Amino acid sequence: MSGRRYKAAIIGGSGYGAGEMLRRLLIHPEVEVVRVASIDHVGKPVWHAHPHLTGLTDLVFEDIAPREAAAGCDVALLALPHKVTAAKVPELVELGVKIVDMSGDFRLTDAAAYQKYYGNAHPVPHLLGTFVYGLPELNRERIKASKYVASPGCFATTIELALLPLARAGLLDGTTAHVVGITGSSGSGAAPQEGTHHPVRAVNLKTYKPLVHQHTPEILETLAAAGAKDIELRFTPVSAPLSRGIFVTVYLELPADAIDDKRMAALYDEAYAREPFVRRPTTRLPEVAAVSGSNYLEVGFAVGDAVSGKRTVVCFSASDNLIKGGAGQAIQNMNLVLGLDERLSLQDPGGWP
């Protein structure tokens, strides 16, 4: 224990990610949420938007500026939409508070890539590169030493951790990764939309943003930082009749003499055996129900026979988009930034089924 209670503010408190963040911070032994800022449900208790928190807190939604929300706090946790966040961050930087951001506004270092994938010029491009990319399995020491952290996207986290051991081993150099990522509706946010309307979603599978999803550039930047050279990504996301969960399948063609089941197992076990929230089941492949409701992510693989000097390798991963893909990973990063045990408030398993 650190001997003190850190103070946190949540800015953008009415969405699903913020609800998951609140749920876990209310049981955090060393961090106290002191304010929840939101332009929705103003003046109402937080459980008005997050019914699972009924009676557990006296916090209310306040329509206040980020500077006011974070005043006197050790850390500001941002759960605002993309593009909104970038306009709010400068005043928090001026305030001097530590920041953990869940939006995509500061994950990239390339302003041109941001404009291409997010649809507009970055409003504060001079701040790109000042945030550490918050994937603890790759950047743990940098996160610990940082003041500003950009937590990864849900698809990005799940795809990156599926491929990270191969990137580190140089096996992705010059390859093309074909990815299908299936996601639950909560990833689209709390506001109802045509694509998440339950009568259609509940009986449907459909793709969206094929080959142009906004998580593509951060995945490429991250795999490059892990050692992959000249990798290409062909990513197709699929909307599924789930409220939570992501399941990723990655297809690769790799040199047959460079990879087999034994080496794959060694690479993944070496990468993740000591990671608190990544696991490789050995008697089954990853599945969403095994990680839903938790900060755990599962990885697995299948290796095909050698054909014409190549093997088809299929990598699988599963996560909860709101937790390891969102609020849970943000809390993991917050713990690291504050010098705490990164597992605090995150070690509970999900339910089954």
> For strand 232-239 and strand 206-207, is the pairing parallel, antiparallel, or unpaired?
antiparallel
Q: Are 190 and 15 in contact (CB under 8 A)?
A: yes
To which H or E segment does residue 263 belong?
A: helix 261-272
Give the count of beta carbons closer than 10 Å to the beta carbon of residue 294. Answer: 19
| CA distance linking residue 261 with residue 301, whole number of Å | 9
Amino acid, single-letter form, for residue 325: G
SS3 label, residue 147: coil
Rounded CA gap, 8 and 338, in Å? 11
d(CA 102, CA 80): 7
Query: Under a CB-based contact definition with an 8 Å cutoff, are residues 53 and 77 in contact?
Result: no
CA dihedral for 21, 212, 231, 131, sign (positive or negative): negative
Cα–Cα distance measured from residue 319 to residue 208, given in angstroms and rounded to the nearest whole number? 20
Kind and range of the H or E run holding 207: strand 206-207
Tokens (6 digits) for 207: 């793709």
Where do runs of H (alpha helix) occur along 41-110?
66-70, 84-95
Burial of 232 (0-12, 13-18, 19+ CB in 10 A): exposed
**Tokens found for residue 91:** 């005043």
Beta-carbon count within 10 A of 221 CB: 18
Report whether 297 contacts 316 (CB < 8 A): no
Positions marked active-site:
154
